[in-house]
C-alpha cells in the first residue's frame, strides 16, 4: 500500500510539475532515516540482547532436556492446555446430551405404551381422557422446548 501511495503521489506530482523528480527529492530524507534506524550501534545492541537471551536458553537446555527425558521415561509428563470457554462448551454439550437422552426415553415409552394408554379411560369427543392429557402434555413439552431454544 505504501508503494501504491508513492506511485500515485509520483504520478500526481509529475502531472503538476514535469520537472520534479520525486526520487531525487526524497533520497536525502530516506538516507537519513535509514542511517538512524539501521546503524551499527543499533545492530550491536540488538545482537548483544540476542546473545544474552540465547546464552540463558542454552544454559538451561541440558537441565530441561534431562528433566523431560526423566519424565518421559517414568510416564510422569503433565501437559496443561488452557482453552478459554471450554467450560461453557462442556456445559452446553452436557445439557444437550441430557435433553436428547430424555427425549429418546420418552419417545420409546410413548411408542411402547401409547396405544394402550390412549385407549384407556373415558372418551370425550372421540378421544380418551388420557389421550387429551397426552395431547396437552405434548403441547406443553413443545412450548417448553421452544422457550428453551429462544431463552438461550
Give per-residue pLDDT as tens, 113-136.
777 776 777 777 877 787 788 788
- pLDDT surpassing 80 at residue 23: no
Of residues 85, 104, 81, the one with CA closest to residue 93: 85
Residues with Cβ within 8 Å of 71's Cβ and at least 6 positions away in sequence, in order, are 77
Residue 127 backbone dihedrals phi, psi, to 5 degrees: -130, 140
Q: Is the pLDDT of residue 50 over 80?
A: yes
- Per-residue three-class SS string for the chain: CHHHHHHHHHHHHHHHCCCCCHHHHHHHHHHHHHHHHCCHHHHHHHHHHHHHHHHHHHHHHHHHHHHHHHHHHHCCCCCCCCCCCHHHHHHHHHHHHHHHHHHHHHHHHHHHHHHHHHHCCCEECCEEHHHHHHHHHHHHHHHHHHHHHHHC
More confident site: 147 or 152: 147
Burial tier of 110 (Cβ tally within 10 Å: 0-12, 13-18, 19+): middle
pLDDT tens for 57-113 read: 778 888 888 888 888 888 887 777 788 888 888 888 898 888 888 888 888 887 887
What pLDDT band is residue 30 in, cutting at 50, 70 and 90? confident
Amino acid at each position: 500500500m505504501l508503494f501504491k501511495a508513492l506511485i500515485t503521489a509520483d504520478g500526481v506530482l509529475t502531472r503538476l510539475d514535469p520537472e520534479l523528480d520525486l526520487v531525487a527529492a526524497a533520497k536525502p530524507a530516506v538516507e537519513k532515516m535509514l542511517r538512524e534506524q539501521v546503524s551499527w550501534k543499533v545492530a550491536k545492541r540488538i545482537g548483544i540482547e540476542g546473545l544474552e537471551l540465547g546464552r540463558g536458553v542454552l544454559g538451561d537446555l541440558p537441565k530441561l532436556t534431562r528433566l523431560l527425558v526423566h519424565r518421559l521415561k517414568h510416564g510422569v509428563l503433565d501437559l496443561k492446555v488452557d482453552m478459554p470457554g471450554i467450560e461453557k462448551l462442556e456445559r452446553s454439550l452436557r445439557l444437550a446430551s441430557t435433553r436428547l437422552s430424555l427425549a429418546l426415553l420418552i419417545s420409546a415409552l410413548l411408542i411402547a405404551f401409547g396405544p394402550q394408554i390412549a385407549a384407556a379411560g373415558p372418551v370425550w369427543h372421540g378421544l380418551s381422557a388420557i389421550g387429551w392429557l397426552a395431547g396437552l402434555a405434548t403441547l406443553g413439552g413443545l412450548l417448553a422446548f421452544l422457550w428453551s431454544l429462544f431463552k438461550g
